[in-house]
Chains A and B, each alone.
Chain A
Amino acid sequence: MVTGLFKSSFLHLAIVLIFLYGAEIFKRNKRFEIVEIPLDIVEISEKTVTKKNKPKPQQKPQKEQSFSPPEVLSRPKTTEFSEKEKKVPENKKQIQEEKVKELSKAESILKSIEKIKAQTKNNNEEIKQKDKEVTNEKVTNLGEKLTISEKDAIRRQFYSCWIVPAGAKNIKDYKVSIKLRLDASGEVTSSKLTNSLKNADPFYRTLAESAVRAVNHPDCKKLKVPKRKYETWKEMILDFDPSLMIN
């Protein structure tokens, strides 16, 4: 009797372990095993390529400034603004303006990179704080449903993120479901297709990949959800259904 019980619990434990860990291992990166040539991934340091590039655009205007204009013996005092305008001939002015534009573009992109990095650094702290807020609010009513307008807000958010593969064959017959886990701030922490893409019809796969891209889209990474109902939306399933869009 004891031996039987021991055997049974060992067997059950093994099955539970396989479900918990095994399935994930087997599914790992199966989607992209089409690789025909080996991929050597070199670990990249914290310093990004953008940082190396950062000083480059700044050097260019300095070179421009190194041209020595003819020395002026005397000139009337003017405001800095008008002085600069007078100094630069039309052609140079245009070139400089373009460079300034390029610079400002590059700078804005670099700034946003830094912003993102700063955000990711602070992210954990924010999440912890928000978690605290949520727990402090103590309004996490289990089973409290989202209202229609709250659901619509989430739908609206995905309209701009989801590029529907219109024109693909029989696309209207497919529906893709993605399970999301969200943190207390509404940010998607994990997403997973509910159906496997293994041996999937290529058009289903196209639709599934478009939905995954939508979920990972920066504009949809953080969902507009009512924070007090965290317990309701901390896990959700999104059903991407293109049938209403396509005749």
Chain B
Amino acid sequence: MKIFATFFLAIFSFYPFFAFSELRIDITKGNLDPIPIAILKFNSSKQEEKDLSKNINEVIKNNLSRSGLFSVLPSKIFLNNKISFNKKPEFADWKLTTAQGLVHGKLSLNGNKLSIEFRLWDIFSQKQMIAQQLVTEKNNWRRISHVISDIIYQRITGESGYFDSRIVYISESGPKSARKKRLAIIDQDGENHKFLTDGSYLALTPRFSPAAQEIAYLSYNNQTPRIYLLDLETGNQKILGDFPGMTFSPRYSPDGKKIIMSLAKNGNTDIYEMDLKSLKIKRLTFYEGIDTAPSYSPDGDFITFESDRSGSQKIYVMNLKTKKIKRISFGKGRYATPVWSPRGDLIAFTKLLGGEFYIGVMYTDGKGERVVYKTYLVEGPSWSPNGRVIAFYSQDKLNGGVITRPKIKLIDLTGINLRQLLTPADASDPSWSGLLP
């Protein structure tokens, strides 16, 4: 027994020596370059398959490069543009292209059935990252391209994608005195544009339900704000009710069962919650001033809203269980339209300071505030389904004092990657859907 004890004592007494003898170097700085990725056309045999493969390849490449996180390499520099689906790529050759990821696969058409099998490789680690088979109808090729883009994005970045999603917005046309505002919908990549209302009546501030393909929007019935619910699958539309004193459309709860809104009664604007099944309305704030623009947290336990209770427009967070309210914005300027990220970690907002509008983000406790975009006018931030990109509309002031037309822009959280959503007319009030079911 004594021998064993001495033995173990000896081992453990030497352990610290071994532990401290290791050389450790901390790497605290890297670069923020996009990840170089090679995306090959999926192997196919018939001409129709080849055409589809080319189109799908284009959509995937555009999606990933537009995200700002990937640098899609031109096929000109590839030594081999075709890899047999069941063969391992020649990693040494692919390393020369600087690609860190490689996507290849095969595509086949059987009547109307489109089948795609693809693989994603980590070139430097020489490992397969994911391999999947997807089957759909031929006409659905654009959606399958978005789904594949989402899978690649998720596997490499660790968070879900946002490519298989849509944006509903207000399309504006005509002179100021007779402005036509129509509800319209568009894929996040600017394709499949469709008008949802004919413009015979005004449509404002649409909101996508996160749980269903349903949109709530505001219109007017004899000067009284009226909320409509539009089912995108069936095209059916119903009136939720007339809401005097409403300025923004309500926002849905994460489960889509409730909506939250601000209503002005007797000159006092407060926040109310409505159960969509029972249509019962519950008042949440009781302040003699303006509490408005509420938005749910993704778990539904909190809301964020703007209020002037501290003397100027600031952002607040309310715990719906305890009803405790906490101010989270303390910077200079007027903060407005806070929107909780679907990822749960950030709140996006607009801010007016020094005659300029800002789009910014902050953590839900108010820390880490940073500006991602600023210009003459920015309004209506709306998060992508993965909480990585913010859609908003803006107008710029040019050198001669000319104000540009309202357009929807998409900006990455880092504030580096800014894109404009191409719409057929002026565009405002974007609302991003969740990932399509």
A: residues with CB less than 8 A from B are 29, 31-32, 34-37, 39-42, 44, 48-50, 53, 102, 105-106, 109-110, 112-113, 116-117, 143, 146, 151, 154-155, 158-170, 202-203, 205-207, 209-214, 216-218, 232-233, 235-245, 247
In contact, B27 and A48 (Cβ under 8 angstroms): no
* Alpha-carbon distance A247/B133, docked complex (angstroms): 39
Is A168 a contact of B32 with CB atoms below 8 Å?
no
Q: In whole Å, how far is A50's beta carbon from the nearest beta carbon of chain B?
A: 5
Asked if A213 and B124 make an inter-chain contact with CB atoms under 8 angstroms apart, the answer reads: yes
Q: How far is the CA of A112 from the CA of B319 in the complex (A)?
A: 61
User: Are B32 and A146 interface neighbours, CB within 8 A?
Assistant: no
Contact: B21 with A202, CB < 8 Å? no
The residues of B that contact A244 with a CB separation of less than 8 Å are 28-29
A206 to B368, CA, bound (A): 22
- 12 A-B pairs in the complex with CB atoms less than 8 angstroms apart: A34-B130, A34-B131, A35-B130, A37-B117, A41-B88, A113-B93, A116-B96, A117-B92, A167-B414, A212-B125, A216-B124, A239-B26
Stretch at the interface among B142-150, B155-163, B265-273: B155-163
CB-contact partner of A240 in B27, B77, B95, under 8 A: B27
Chain B window 6-48, contacts with chain A (Cβ cutoff 8 Å), 1 for yes, 0 for no: 0000000000000001111111111111110000000000000
A-side contacts of B414, CB under 8 Å: 166-167
- For the complex formed, measure the closest distance between the CB of A91 and the CB atoms of chain B, giving whole angstroms: 21
- What CA separation (Å) do A109 and B80 show in the bound complex? 12
Which residues from B are CB-within-8-Å of A102? 76
Contact of B413 (CB < 8 Å), options: A151, A167, A210: A167
B345 interfacial by beta-carbon distance below 8 Å? yes
* Inter-chain contacts of B413 with A (CB < 8 A): 167
* Contact in complex: A247, B370 (CB < 8 Å): yes
Give complex CA distance A217, B125 in Å: 9
B166–chain A nearest beta-carbon distance, Å: 23
Which residues 75-99 in B have Cβ within 8 Å of A in the complex? 76-77, 79-80, 84, 86-88, 90, 92-93, 95-96
Contact A241 B87 (CB under 8 A): no
Q: How large is the interface on B (under 10, 10 to 19, 20 to 34, 35 or more residues)?
A: 35 or more
Closest A residue, CB atoms, query B88 = A41
A158-B79 in contact (CB<8A): no
Interface flags for B358-381 (1: CB within 8 Å of A; 0: not) read 000000000010100000000000
Instruction: Say yes or no: A48 contacts B25, CB within 8 Å.
Output: no
Instruction: Scan residues 167-197 of chain B and give those whose CB is less than 8 A from a CB of chain A.
Output: none
Within B116-142, the residues touching A (CB, 8 Å) are 117, 119, 122, 124-133
**Smallest Cβ-Cβ distance to A49: which chain B residue:** B80
For A142, the closest partner residue in chain B by CB is: B21
B66 partner residues in chain A, CB cutoff 8 A:
none
Task: Choose from B30, B76, B79, B158 the contact partner of A49 (Cβ within 8 Å).
Answer: B79
Question: CB < 8 Å: which of B22, B95, B122, B157 contacts A218?
Answer: B95
Q: CB distance B87 to A42 under 8 Å?
A: yes
Q: Considering only CB atoms, which chain B residue lies closest to A214 in the complex?
A: B30
A155 touches B27 (CB 8 A): yes
Chain B, Cβ-Cβ closest to A207: B158
User: Are B25 and A162 closer than 8 Å at their CB atoms?
Assistant: no
Indicate whether B327 reaches chain A with its CB closer than 8 angstroms. Answer: no
CA distance A116 to B94 in the complex (A): 13
C-alpha gap A143/B80 in the complex (Å):
49
Do B23 and A146 have beta carbons less than 8 Å apart?
yes
Is there contact, CB below 8 Å, between A35 and B128? Answer: yes
- Bound form: Cα–Cα A42–B122 in Å: 18
The 6 closest A-B pairs by CB, nearest first: A206-B158, A162-B30, A216-B124, A202-B158, A164-B30, A236-B23
A232: chain B residues within 8 A (beta carbon)? 23
Most buried by A among B31, B119, B413: B31
Contacts A34-B130, A155-B25: A116 and B92 contacting too (C-beta < 8 A)? yes
Decide: A165 and B124 in contact? CB cutoff 8 A: no
Please tell me if B343 contacts chain A, counting CB pairs below 8 Å: yes
Contacts of A217 in B (CB 8 A): 124
* Chain B neighbourhood of A169, CB < 8 A: 159, 343, 345, 387
Distance from A169 Cβ to chain B, minimum over Cβ atoms (Å): 5
Residues in B with CB closer than 8 Å to A205 are 158
Check A53–B80 contact: CB distance below 8 A: yes
Q: Cβ of B388 < 8 Å from any Cβ of A?
A: yes
Whether B30 pairs with A216 at a CB distance below 8 angstroms is no
